[in-house]
Amino acid sequence: MLNDIIKMIPIYVMGRKYEVPRGLTIQKALEFSGYMLKRGCGCRGGVCGACVTVYRKKGDYKINVGLACQTVVEPDMDLVQLPYTSANKALYTIKNTPLTDSNIIRLYPELLKCMGCNACTKSCPMDLEVMSYVSAAIRGDFAKVVELSMECIMCGMCAARCPAELSPFNIALLIRRMYGKHVIPPAPHLKQRLTEIAEDKFKDEIEKLKASDKPELETRYRELQATRGAAVAEMTA
Residue 37 inside a domain? The answer is yes
Q: Are residues 10 and 70 in the same domain?
A: yes
Predicted confidence at residue 47, as pLDDT, reads: 63
Name the average pLDDT for the chain: 89
Its domain, for residue 146, covers 94-182
**Final residue belonging to a domain, choices 167, 182, 197:** 182
Please tell me the number of Cα atoms within 13 Å of 192 on its side-chain side.
3
Residue 224 inside a domain? The answer is no
- The pLDDT-based confidence of 4 (bands split at 50, 70, 90) is low
Q: Are residues 68 and 134 in the same domain?
A: no
Predicted confidence at residue 40, as pLDDT, reads: 61
Backbone angles phi, psi at 118, to 5 degrees: 75, 15
- The pLDDT-based confidence of 187 (bands split at 50, 70, 90) is confident
Predicted confidence at residue 41, as pLDDT, reads: 67
Q: Are residues 73 and 9 in the same domain?
A: yes
User: What domain count does the chain have?
Assistant: 2
Render pLDDT for 87-109 as a digit per residue (tens, 0 to 9).
Answer: 899 999 999 899 999 999 999 99
Residue 216 inside a domain? The answer is no
Q: Are residues 178 and 123 in the same domain?
A: yes
Closest CA to 52 of 147, 134, 125: 125
> Residue 192 above 80 pLDDT?
yes
Q: Are residues 75 and 108 in the same domain?
A: no
- The mean-pLDDT minimum among 87-91, 178-182, 186-190 falls in 186-190
Q: Are residues 18 and 44 in the same domain?
A: yes
Show Cβ contacts of residue 48 under 8 Å, excluding neighbours closer than 6 positions: 41, 42, 153, 154
CATH number of the domain where residue 46 is located: 3.10.20.30
Residue 57 inside a domain? The answer is yes
**Final residue belonging to a domain, choices 81, 104, 119:** 81
Q: What is the mean pLDDT of residues 229-235?
A: 76
Q: Are residues 76 and 120 in the same domain?
A: no
Provide the percentage of residues in the chain whose pLDDT is more than 70.
Answer: 93
Residue 228 inside a domain? The answer is no
CATH number of the domain where residue 155 is located: 1.10.1060.10
Beta bridge partners of 9: 20
Q: What is the mean pLDDT of residues 34-43?
A: 72
16-21 and 64-67 as β-strands: parallel, antiparallel, unpaired? unpaired
- The pLDDT-based confidence of 48 (bands split at 50, 70, 90) is confident
Residue 234 inside a domain? The answer is no
Predicted confidence at residue 11, as pLDDT, reads: 96
Closest CA to 167 of 91, 128, 122, 111: 111
